[in-house]
């Protein structure tokens, strides 16, 4: 489980192709990876989906749909993504309310020598 992305400054190196390869090298054959990728300023789900697609992984995600007011209560809805080597490892999770399969949306995966933080910012702020 990775939970390091909620602040204003994200650890980009944890989202790269090389980092994902390292996680998979330590993961059991039937294990899954859980990313808590809530962020006020950046849309990180397409980044996760792009990296997963490059590694031939399946990704499902769920956004907390409870209403909140982050300016009043300083809380934001959570966004989590689960990555698995194949969909069978996800069990019945894809059938549960709110879980959706995530797609890379035509963006490149991040690597040690490439990341596009501005793209993630623009997706979050302007929806594209």
Q: Quote the pLDDT of residue 7.
A: 65
Q: What is the pLDDT of residues 15-34, one digit of tens each?
A: 999 999 999 999 999 999 99
pTM, rounded to two decimals: 0.88
Percent of the chain at pLDDT > 90 equals 68
Flag whether 1 is in a domain.
Answer: no
109 lies in some domain: yes
Per residue in 47-85, pLDDT tens?
A: 999 999 999 999 999 998 776 666 676 666 789 999 999
Q: Which of 5-9, 36-40, 94-98 has the highest mean pLDDT?
A: 94-98
Residue 40 lies in a domain: yes
In a domain, 7, yes or no: no
Q: Is residue 79 part of a domain?
A: yes
Count up the domains in the chain and report the number.
Answer: 1
User: 88 is in which domain, residue-wise?
Assistant: 12-126
Chain centroid to Cα 69, Å, comes to 23
What pLDDT is attached to residue 50? Answer: 97
Q: In which band, very low, low, confident or very high, does the pLDDT at 10 lie, cut at 50, 70 and 90? A: confident
DSSP, collapsed to helix, strand or coil, labels residue 95 as helix
Instruction: Give the C-alpha distances (Å, rounded to integers) separating 15 from 23, 43, 127.
Output: 11, 12, 21
**Is 75 inside a domain boundary?**
yes
């Amino acid at each position: 489980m990775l939970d390091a992305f909620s602040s204003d400054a994200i650890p980009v190196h944890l989202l790269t192709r090389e980092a994902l390869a390292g996680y998979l090298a330590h993961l059991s054959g039937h294990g899954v990876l859980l990313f808590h990728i809530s962020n006020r300023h950046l849309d990180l789900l397409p980044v996760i989906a792009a990296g997963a697609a490059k590694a031939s992984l399946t990704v499902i995600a769920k956004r907390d749909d409870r209403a909140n007011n982050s300016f009043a209560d300083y809380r934001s809805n959570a966004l989590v993504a689960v990555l698995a080597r194949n969909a069978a490892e996800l069990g019945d999770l894809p059938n549960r309310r709110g879980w959706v399969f995530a797609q890379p949306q035509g963006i490149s995966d991040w690597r040690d020598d490439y990341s596009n933080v501005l793209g993630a910012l623009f997706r979050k702020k302007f929806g594209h």
